[in-house]
């Protein structure tokens, strides 16, 4: 018989509820975005995020059930993101999941948000192990090695800013609205790598990243030009910034995949929506890793959503990794 997992995600600024059948088929995936409310502050305001989650969570649960045409009594389990993320935001999802699971006598599955991003790839094709995932989002830049299903080892990570965070900070200097990753990506396609910013940590023999030096180089260049009343091309600035980020992400991932031979590579997280990164990663993997296949989730599944949480939840459920009603939000959760 089919298993139906209800997934709940509220770690940052999207309230999302989804129903996924057998860890493979999305029956519904409701995403209530709060971006409009955070735009005027230039970033996510945690207290504002929590309030929105409170308003949206039960509406999203009802809508997800309705869209999937599923009765609560037919559900198999409830999966919820319990970290990492903003504590107040996480708490709303965790409390809602516990209440829903208790009221409907359903098992509760705790899910790590980063695992969720990786499992977004399983909607494209079945995951095969060992697998290496590059997770790039507003809060994370991590290389995760998975020997088997639901097993995670971080082999590299950012020492400072996450890739998405660097996009958003640079966007602010260009007076773009938050979050600016998508707009910088579009501008980058119209410009050239004229400024050739530094490529951090490429020479070092590890799989870690650093983006704060790039961010500072970008800000200094723009401020110095402003002082000289010189105008720089926004397109060339975006293209130069993106060329540096993409080169480092792709080269480090390929380097890691040579040290940890894998069947599959996964590119995941909000920044995986970046066209430059998607294209370059596809090209370099095809050229340099002929024995591995690359999976990139569809654009709508790169950003935060609950379908990916339900999919990761299904694998935890298969391994009987369940939580009881003492489950708490864990903002600094690692693997
Ligand atoms: O995964 P996500 O939705 O939320 C977190 O878990 O952080 O990622 C959001 C991040 C933001 O920093 C946003 O600027 C970035 O993903 N982003 C992009 C693109 N689309 C979204 N960055 C670069 N290029 C894009 N096309
Ligand atoms: Zn995320």
Rounded distance between C-alpha atoms, residue 23 and residue 164, angstroms: 28
What pLDDT tens digit does each residue of the chain (335 aa) get? 899 999 999 999 999 999 999 999 999 999 998 888 888 888 888 998 999 999 999 999 999 999 999 999 999 999 999 999 999 999 999 999 999 999 999 999 999 999 999 999 999 999 999 999 999 999 999 999 999 999 999 999 999 999 999 999 999 999 999 999 999 999 999 999 999 999 999 988 899 999 999 999 999 999 999 999 999 999 999 999 999 999 999 999 999 999 998 999 999 999 999 999 999 999 999 999 999 999 999 999 999 999 999 999 999 999 999 999 999 999 999 99
Rounded distance between C-alpha atoms, residue 156 and residue 134, angstroms: 9
On whether both 286 and 139 belong to a single domain, the answer is yes
User: CA 97, 102, 106 angle in degrees (round to 5)?
Assistant: 80
- CATH number of the domain to which 77 belongs: 3.30.420.40
On whether both 154 and 92 belong to a single domain, the answer is no
On whether both 306 and 292 belong to a single domain, the answer is no
Indicate whether 284 belongs to any domain. Answer: yes
22-33 in b/e form (b: 16+ CB < 10 A) is: ebeebbbbbbbe
Instruction: Give the number of domains in the chain.
Output: 2
Indicate whether 262 belongs to any domain. Answer: yes
Indicate whether 332 belongs to any domain. Answer: no
On whether both 281 and 231 belong to a single domain, the answer is yes
Q: Which of 247, 161, 155, 145 is nearest to 196 (CA)?
A: 247
On whether both 86 and 18 belong to a single domain, the answer is yes
Indicate whether 277 belongs to any domain. Answer: yes
135 marked as binding residue: yes
On whether both 157 and 242 belong to a single domain, the answer is yes
Indicate whether 105 belongs to any domain. Answer: yes
On whether both 98 and 195 belong to a single domain, the answer is no
| Residue ID of nearest Cα to ligand 1 atom 3 | 303
Q: Are 331 and 42 in contact (CB under 8 A)?
A: no
Domain span holding position 72: 4-118+301-318
On whether both 87 and 23 belong to a single domain, the answer is yes
On whether both 166 and 226 belong to a single domain, the answer is yes
Among 118, 138, 241, say which to mutate for ligand 1: greatest number of ligand atoms within 8 Å of CB. Answer: 138
Residue 164: CB within 6 Å of ligand 1?
Answer: yes
On whether both 150 and 266 belong to a single domain, the answer is yes
138 marked as binding residue: yes
On whether both 109 and 81 belong to a single domain, the answer is yes
């Amino acid at each position: 018989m089919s298993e139906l997992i209800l997934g709940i995600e509220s770690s940052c600024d999207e309230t999302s509820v989804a129903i996924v059948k057998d860890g493979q088929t999305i029956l519904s995936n409701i995403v209530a975005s709060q971006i409009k409310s955070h735009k005027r502050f230039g970033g996510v305001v945690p207290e504002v995020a929590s309030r929105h989650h409170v308003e949206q969570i039960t509406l999203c649960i009802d809508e997800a059930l309705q869209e999937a045409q599923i009765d609560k009594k037919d559900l198999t389990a409830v999966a919820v993101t319990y970290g990492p993320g903003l504590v107040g935001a996480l708490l709303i999802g965790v409390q809602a999941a516990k209440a829903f699971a208790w009221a409907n006598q359903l098992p509760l599955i705790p899910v790590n948000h980063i695992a969720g991003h990786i499992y977004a790839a399983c909607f494209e094709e079945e995951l095969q192990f060992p697998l290496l995932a590059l997770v790039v989002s507003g809060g994370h830049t991590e290389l995760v090695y998975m020997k088997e299903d639901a097993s995670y080892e971080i082999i590299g990570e950012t020492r400072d800013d996450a890739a998405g965070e660097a996009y958003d900070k640079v966007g602010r200097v260009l007076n773009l609205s938050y979050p600016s990753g998508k707009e910088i990506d579009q501008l980058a396609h119209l410009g050239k790598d004229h400024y050739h910013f530094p490529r951090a940590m490429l020479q070092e023999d590890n799989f870690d990243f650093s983006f704060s030096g790039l961010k500072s180089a970008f800000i200094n260049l723009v401020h110095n030009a402003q002082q000289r009343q010189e105008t720089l091309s926004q397109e060339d600035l975006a293209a130069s910034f993106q060329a540096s980020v993409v080169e480092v992400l792709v080269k480090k991932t390929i380097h890691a995949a040579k040290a940890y031979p894998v069947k599959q590579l996964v590119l995941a997280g909000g920044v995986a929506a970046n066209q430059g990164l998607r294209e370059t990663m596809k090209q370099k993997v095809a050229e340099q890793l002929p024995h591995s296949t690359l999976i990139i989730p569809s654009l709508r599944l790169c950003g935060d959503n609950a379908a990916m949480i339900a999919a990761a939840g299904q694998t935890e459920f298969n391994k009987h990794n369940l939580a009881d009603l003492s489950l708490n939000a864990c903002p600094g959760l690692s693997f």
